[in-house]
Structure 1
Amino acid sequence: MPLHAQQFFDDVLEMSFYQYAIVGDALYTIPQPNSLLRLRIDFTPTIRHGEYDGLRLRVFHPEQGVLDTAILRFAEHGTFERRDAARDLVAGRDGYAVIRDWHANSSQPPWHGADGTGLRTAIEQYAHVWFPQPAVSRPSARPVAQPTPTTRLSPRSR
């Protein structure tokens, strides 16, 4: 069974990037117009074939290559907290906080029951570091008032 990456990124993460495309199991985006930097988000595999325990974020430049990589674990962001609680799975038990892409005949995607809120927040924070929002132009400041010259009273005018 394929990971259904398109559904995962659209339905679970619900990211609002400026422009993006999903190629295979990875999301590629230009989070900001006219930026040379790109962001790639894909699944991080465990030591088992077809098992994933988080998302890998990579910022890269088309000519300079990868500039930074971050791993967001599903367990650290509560992605499968409800699903695993219903299955009585806790940290350290087989299947806890992972996606398994092993069953070809399953009617539900392997990420069924995922809550993307924590991941989405972490991705937005990460993207904000590398792709800060353009500064909002403020109205021009008023000129500082110049002190008005004071006239000295001459001794005769007193």
Structure 2
Amino acid sequence: MSLQAPEFFAELCLPFHDSTVVGNTYYATPVPGAPLRLRITFTGTIYADTYGGLRLAVVHADQGEIDAVALSFKDHGTFHRRDEAHNTSASAQQRGTFDKYHRPGRPPWEGAVTTGLRDAIEQYTAVWFPGAWAASGPRRATGPTAHKTPAPPVTRSGGRAR
């Protein structure tokens, strides 16, 4: 079964126009004409066909891979809501992961919230491709906040109102 990688990377809303997905790997040239490329792949776990994050690599056109970082889904809260909704225990093997098996018509990474991953990718690419993120496209619109605005404090005075 397919991981539906093109849809997953589209969900991340990465701003690089010169990019493509081949198989389960995303490739981009964040700075047009530069020798550095960005490669993003899914990282496996010790369990077959189960994925626990993304591996970002900076690849030089002539020298090969020069840097890499692993971003776990668990550390970036990608499946936190899904795991909480399903009461997945903190020690369960499937917490913060997805596997290739899924409901028909739905992606295997259903329930993913990619904001944390996207922010981490933005931070990483800012080091290797300064200015490329801003030059490639506008920052995504922020959604409504989940924080409640605190009520103003109640003031009580010892005197009577006149």
Query: TM-score range, shorter-chain basis?
Result: 0.7 to 0.9
Deviation at 1:45, TM superposition (A): 0.4
Confirm whether residue 102 of structure 1 aligns to residue 109 of structure 2: no
Structure-2 separation of matches of 1:3 and 1:91? 24
Structure-2 separation of matches of 1:57 and 1:94? 23
Task: Give every structure 1 segment of 4 or more consecutive aligned residues whose post-TM-superposition deviation is greater than 3 Å.
Answer: none
Query: 1:143 — aligned with what?
Result: none
| Aligned AA (1:131) | F
Query: 1:133 — aligned with what?
Result: 131
| Aligned AA (1:125) | Q
Query: 1:6 — aligned with what?
Result: 6
8 Å CA contact 1:18, 1:32 repeated in 2: no
Query: 1:37 — aligned with what?
Result: 36
Confirm whether residue 67 of structure 1 aligns to residue 61 of structure 2: no
Report SS of the residue matched to 1:71: strand
Deviation at 1:94, TM superposition (A): 2.6
8 Å CA contact 1:89, 1:96 repeated in 2: yes
Query: 1:83 — aligned with what?
Result: 82
Deviation at 1:133, TM superposition (A): 1.7
Gaps of 5+ in 2: 133-162
Deviation at 1:100, TM superposition (A): 0.5
Percent identity over the alignment? 46
Q: Deviations over 1:40-93 (max 9, x none)?
A: 001000112210000000101121010001000000001001110000013211
| Aligned AA (1:10) | A
Deviation at 1:18, TM superposition (A): 3.3
**TM-score of the aligned structures, taking structure 2 as reference length:** 0.78
Alignment: residue pair count: 132
Query: 1:58 — aligned with what?
Result: 57
Structure-2 separation of matches of 1:83 and 1:100? 14
Structure-2 separation of matches of 1:130 and 1:90? 37
**TM-score of the aligned structures, taking structure 1 as reference length:** 0.79
| Aligned AA (1:107) | G
| Aligned AA (1:114) | A
Deviation at 1:130, TM superposition (A): 0.3
Structure-1 separation of matches of 2:65 and 2:107? 30
